[in-house]
Amino acid sequence: MGMLSNGERIAVKYLLSTTQCHEKQFKNEVDNLMKVRHKNVVQFRGYCYETSLKCMKYNGVNIFAEKSPERLLCFEYMANGSLDNYISEELCGLAWHQRYKIIKGICCGLYYLHDECQINSFVIHLDLKPENILLDDNMVPKIADFGLAKLFDDNKTHTCATSRVGSMGYMAPEYIFEGIISPMADIYSLGVIIVQMITGRKLGPSGTEAFCSDFVGPVRNFMSDIKI
C-alpha cells in the first residue's frame, strides 16, 4: 500500500523479474489498463519505469553499467483483497445475495472488456481467476492483472497462440490443446469461478461424474437453507 500527496491510498505492484517475457507483460498491462474504464475493472493510477547507471570495475577499469529497470504499477487500493481469500467451505460467511452481487459484478466487468470498450477493439483477459478479482470497501469486485491480456480489433474474432500461458484449472480446453484465443476463453474461466462461488470450494473442472456430483451436492445443501 502507498499514499499519494492528497492522502489517497493506492496499491503498488512492484515487478521483480527482468526477463524479456516479463518486460513484454509490463508493457502489455500498461497499454491495456490505460484504455479501460469501468466500475468492475480495477482503476489504473499510473506507473513508474526507471533505469540508472552504476559505477563498477571491469578488468580493473571503472565503467558505468545500466542497472535493471525499476518497474511499478499503481492502482486504486482494494481494502478487502482478492476473491481467492473468500473461497472456502463457508465462503467466509458471504451471504447468497453477496455472492450474487460479486458474480454479477465480474460478469459486468467482463462484458465491458468484450463488448463495450470504447477503443475500437475488445480485450481478452486470459488469466481470469479468483486471485485476479479484487474487492473494494463495499465488496464490489474489480477485474485486475492484465499482463496476459490480448487486444483484438473489431474485425477479429479469434487467434492462435504459439505458447500457452495462464493458470491451470481456469484455462479453456481449446486454448490449452489448440492454442485458440477468443472471448470464450474468458467465459470458461468465469464458469469455473461461478462454480467455486456457489459451492465455496476450489473444485477443479475435470468433467467427470465425480466432479459433477461434488458440485451438485453442496449446491443442493446450500439451497435447502434458503427461504424464497
Q: Residue 124 has what pLDDT?
A: 86
Contact yes or no for 206/195 (Cβ under 8 A): no
Section 8-32 average pLDDT: 73
Q: What is the mean pLDDT of the chain?
A: 79
In tens, the pLDDT along 187-204 reads 999 998 998 888 777 755
Percentage of residues of the chain with pLDDT beyond 90: 24
Helices 209-224 and 183-199: angle between axes, nearest 10 degrees: 50
* Residues catalogued as catalytic: 127
**Confidence band (pLDDT; 50, 70, 90) for 228?**
very low
Report domain extents, the chain.
Answer: 2-56+71-224
Q: Residue 180 has what pLDDT?
A: 84
**Confidence band (pLDDT; 50, 70, 90) for 206?**
very low
**Among 6-10, 21-25, 161-165, 183-187, whose mean pLDDT is lowest?**
161-165
- CB neighbours of residue 120 within 10 Å: 8
Q: Residue 217 has what pLDDT?
A: 64
215 vs 124: which has the higher pLDDT = 124
Q: Looking at the domain that runs over 2-56+71-224, which CATH code has it been given?
A: 1.10.510.10
Q: Characterize the bridge pairing of strands 133-135 and 141-143.
A: antiparallel
- CB neighbours of residue 10 within 10 Å: 15
**Confidence band (pLDDT; 50, 70, 90) for 209?**
very low
**Confidence band (pLDDT; 50, 70, 90) for 107?**
very high
